[in-house]
Amino acid sequence: MRVVAGSAKGRRLAPVPAGTRPVSDRAREGLFSSLGGSMGGSVVLDLYAGTGALGLEALSRGAASATLVDSSPGAIRTIRANLELTGLAGRATVHKRDVLRFLRDSTETFTLVMADPPYDTSLGDLNALVGGLIGRLRGPGWRLVLTRPVKGYTPVIPVDWRLARELRYGDTLVLVYEEV
């Protein structure tokens, strides 16, 4: 895995920790191209961060800051290593926490949220994730990126959100939501 574009373009990332299914380079490249390339000062939240590749890509492309959340100790070690490898650690905060607990306990708001939950996440937890994001999406132009398996289920979304894009990369479905 590598950073696709921006200030850390081409940097190789640390090995993927066991039990982590990272978003492929190709899917990240397509996703960020569809988001407009530059993150121009975005405040980013990367949930189920795994290797941190989504948050790192956003930082490399100009995001002002990124908060990366994962509950796995191996993932946290890899995220921190990748932040150091790319020189982006100064604009990132890393939390070793359960994602749903983080959303319950935090009051921060974000302009871009990227959530890459495990494919076997229950429908109840997926709906709790969406519910936990209500009120966390900041200002006009906010976006939520949610990855799902192509043949999996997607959560019910609030009526004031709309599906702006649906991208497919192998067995990964990338959904981009925004405010109506």
- 7 belongs to a structural domain: no
Spatial separation of the C-alpha atoms in residues 27 and 167, rounded to whole Å:
8
Q: Is residue 1 part of a domain?
A: no
Query: How many angstroms from the chain centroid is the CA of residue 170?
Result: 18
Residue 79 included in any domain? yes
Q: Is residue 49 part of a domain?
A: yes
In a domain, 148, yes or no: yes
Q: Which of 125, 137, 141, 145 is nearest to 47 (CA)?
A: 145
User: Which DSSP helix (H) or strand (E) runs through 166?
Assistant: strand 161-169
Helix, strand, or coil (residue 135): coil
Which residue reads 């407009």 in tokens? Answer: 36
Is there a domain that residue 11 lies in?
no
In a domain, 81, yes or no: yes
CATH number of the domain enclosing 85: 3.40.50.150
Checking DSSP bridges between strand 161-169 and strand 172-179, what pairing results, if any?
antiparallel
* Residue 83 tokens, joined: 């932040």
- Asked if residue 27 lies in contact with residue 174, where contact means CB atoms within 8 angstroms, the answer is yes
pLDDT tens for the chain, residues 1 to 180? 999 999 999 999 999 988 888 888 889 999 999 998 668 889 999 999 999 999 999 999 999 999 999 999 999 999 999 999 999 999 999 999 999 999 999 999 999 999 999 999 999 999 999 999 999 999 888 999 999 999 988 898 999 999 999 999 999 999 999 998
d(C-alpha 104, C-alpha 164), whole Å:
26
Q: Which domain holds residue 57?
A: 25-179
Q: How many domains does the chain have?
A: 1
CA distance 59 to 54: 9
In a domain, 91, yes or no: yes
